[in-house]
A and B are shown apart, each in its own frame.
Chain A
Amino acid sequence: MKSSMKSAAMSFAAAVALLGCGHKEETAAPAASGGTQVAGQGDNVIRIGHVAPLSGGDAHLGKDNENGARLAADEINAAGGVRLGEKIYRVEILGEDDKADPKEGTLAAQKLVDEGVVAVVGHLNSGSSIPASKIYSDAGVAQISPSTTAAKYTDQGFKTTFRVVANDIQQGTAMANFAINDFKAKSVAIIDDRTAYGQGLVDVVERVVKDHGVSIVAREYTNNKASDFNAILTKIRARQPDVIVYGGMDDTAGPMAKQIHQLGIKAPLLAGDGTCSPEFVKLAGDGADILTCSRAGEAVEKLPKGAQFMAKYKAKFGSDVQIYAPYAYDAVYVVVDAIRRAGSLDRGAITAAVANTDYDGLTGHISFDAKGDIKNGAISMYHVQDGTLNYLSTTR
């Protein structure tokens, strides 16, 4: 008995000793929580946080965003950094993994706030951005999301939530109009993955198509980790809809498209920005050609600086842009622009400066309305053909 007490004591002692070793790595400023001042910004570094899923089904999208942010930071540093008064600062991106999970998102947000970031680019998933936004709001940290489209995100009355992409009200409306005008659909089947994003998006689509007299022949639910949709799709097949609408991400939409093809269902698949990626094409195999999807922004490859950005991205990271890297890139530039205009690294000042942004970025002209949504957001439609995403049109 005594010897096990001894070993327990020794392990505890070792742990405490390790704790001591841990101290010098701890860069966190022991700031009082809730303050808007940022302490410990020594070594002339501007810390910008970035949160996205770096593991799990959306990891390819998360990595895409983070790459875009890092590309921007590297460019800014290479061009001489940020000059504030006498000092020259370099930009550092602190990347966190939220696993596309709301809980992990809040933990990542708290960690970034504790580490003294001046602003955050993120999160990727609406389901993660929304709970995290409370934490950023409490700390006065500006949060600019490059991909969160759920309307609720900017509807909470926080002064710190911004996004550089259009929201799901615009996106859902564009999708619905496409179904009505281009597909001439008289009946639709709707599936969503129950996440804040998926559900919010198809709710808008449902409302708009109903207003135009289209009938909803099936309303099904799945979850963002499922891979077998045969039961749902078999049910839908019996109702023979003109279009199948899906609210979810590409890692579920891909297998779903394949299974739609395998079951011999002829209806096209209409889905949102979370599915509009090269990864979808890979996952869907033979079924990829049925997808028409929307993106919550301009068609970047068609914009003047777009092609150049794509080439630069590919050269640096060895892979193609997925969806939102250009927006994460622009978000970092918006933060730096705000810092330059505010002339300080105070979180409150930066947030106020972001609200007054008037910036011409890679993705177009960026300015925010009172809620934090981007003004004149665009929705671009794409269609998969022969294994690639083909641009169709843009509505503004």
Chain B
Amino acid sequence: MGSWDTFVQQVFNGLVLGSLYALIALGYTMVYGIVNLINFAHGDVLMVGALTALSAVALAHGLAPGIPGWGLMLIGMLAAVPVCVLISLLMERVAYRPLRNAPRLAPLITAIGVSILLQTLAMIIWGRNHRTFPQLLSSDPIAIGPATVTVTKLLVVALSAIIMVALLLLVQRTRLGRAMRATAENPRVAALMGVNPNAVIAATFAIGAALAAVAGVMYASLYSVAHFYMGFIPGLKAFTAAVLGGIGNIPGAMLGGILLGLIEALGAGYIDQFSDGLFGSNYQDVFAFIVLCAVLILRPSGLLGERVADRA
């Protein structure tokens, strides 16, 4: 296997990872763009989606064992999305809306509190142990050019791309999208123009949650495992991706996600060659944070962001 083949494979690995990060990052960036809130609980929405899908799939399989794998996957997603949207709306209404004008730290702490709450509820409902997510689609290797892929990985990349295009269309072409952009720009003037900011904010949370739900199901399928703590690291990394692309900027989140996935995969794959064996692939997680710090220090607005970070 030549080094070119390995490179292509690592790039593909990064693409898969990056697609997931992008889906999750979109939720962070949209919410931040509209209400200036880092929704720390977003990663846990992903977790709820994955676990809900797990239960739904187990239930469906128990009731009708003949359903094919892709059917079960669909059922899982159809179950996960509404649950996540509901939870997200509830979060927004109960915990975040009252604090829109509170001192800076309050919504941050509340978000952390909500995150802990979601994790504990998941612990109570689904237990503390790691649950195996059933293998729904074949995991046999398929060779595409020099890279070896599987059906699930292809699905992740394809589905993420479709969803991102759909989201861009929504934001650019529809009334809701215009309302979202207007509210992000200036909520008061938007309200004067007839936009209901509360409704728009709720819709933003809902869309972000739906994306996280899909990402959660895909994540669980890829790694065959779901548990109450699974949302933390992907959430943190996706957040890094959103910042990398320019927080508040939707194409930025997509770019940031893919880029971060590539950086992680290529970094882990080649770090020992570059550092002469000093650092190995076990430093994989640190790339995300180094990128985060570097971007924020050198270019706080991110790659595509134009908003200047000049707020106290």
Contacts and interface: CB of A to CB of B under 8 A. Distances in A.
Q: Do chains A and B touch in the complex (CB under 8 A)?
A: yes
Interface of A: 54-57, 59-60, 194, 219-223, 226-228, 230-232, 234-235, 237-238, 240, 251, 254-255, 258, 261-264, 279, 282-287
A282 B269 contact: no
B139 A59 contact: no
Instruction: Please name the 5 residue pairs, one residue from A and one from B, whose CB atoms are nearest each other, closest first.
Output: A231-B268, A221-B282, A264-B141, A55-B128, A285-B135
B9 interface: yes
A272 B269 CA distance: 25
B55 interface: no
Contacts of B265: 230-231
Given A55-B129, A234-B6, A227 B280 contact: no
A255 B269 contact: no
Contacts, number: 100
A54 B2 CA distance: 45
Contacts of B5: 238
Contact of B139 (A57, A234, A262): A262
A255 B224 contact: yes
14 contacts: A54-B128, A57-B130, A230-B265, A231-B265, A231-B281, A234-B10, A235-B281, A258-B224, A263-B148, A264-B148, A283-B132, A285-B139, A285-B224, A286-B140
Interface string B2-38: 1101100110010011000000000000000000000
> Which of A57, A220, A231, A238 has the most chain B CB atoms inside 10 A of its CB?
A231
A220 B279 CA distance: 10
Given A194-B282, A231-B10, A258-B224, 9 more contacts: A55-B129, A57-B130, A59-B130, A221-B282, A227-B223, A235-B281, A237-B1, A264-B141, A264-B148
A251 B225 contact: yes
Contacts of B264: 231
A56 B128 contact: yes
B13 A234 contact: yes
B196 interface: no
B128 A220 contact: no
A226 B282 CA distance: 10
B284 interface: yes
A231 B269 contact: yes
A251 B133 CA distance: 13
A237 B147 CA distance: 12
Chain B interface residue number, banded = 35 or more
B139 A287 contact: yes
B6 A238 contact: yes
B142 to A, nearest CB: 9
Given A223-B282, A230-B265, A262-B141, A255 B10 contact: no
B275 interface: no
Contacts of A219: 280
A263 B5 CA distance: 12
A21 B97 CA distance: 39
Contacts of B280: 219-221
Contact of A228 (B6, B10, B141, B223): B223
Contacts of B312: none
B281 A220 contact: yes
B150 to A, nearest CB: 5
Nearest to A193: B282
A255 to B, nearest CB: 5
Given A234-B13, A237-B1, A287-B139, A262 B148 contact: yes
B192 interface: no
A221 B10 CA distance: 17
A264 B225 CA distance: 21
Nearest to B10: A234
Given A227-B223, A227-B225, A264 B143 contact: yes
B186 interface: no
Contacts of A194: 282
Given A231-B268, A282-B132, A240 B139 contact: no
A56 B2 CA distance: 39
Contacts of B141: 261-264
A65 B227 CA distance: 21
A58 B108 CA distance: 32
B16 to A, nearest CB: 8
B138 interface: yes
A284 to B, nearest CB: 8
Contacts of A226: 284
A228 B9 CA distance: 14
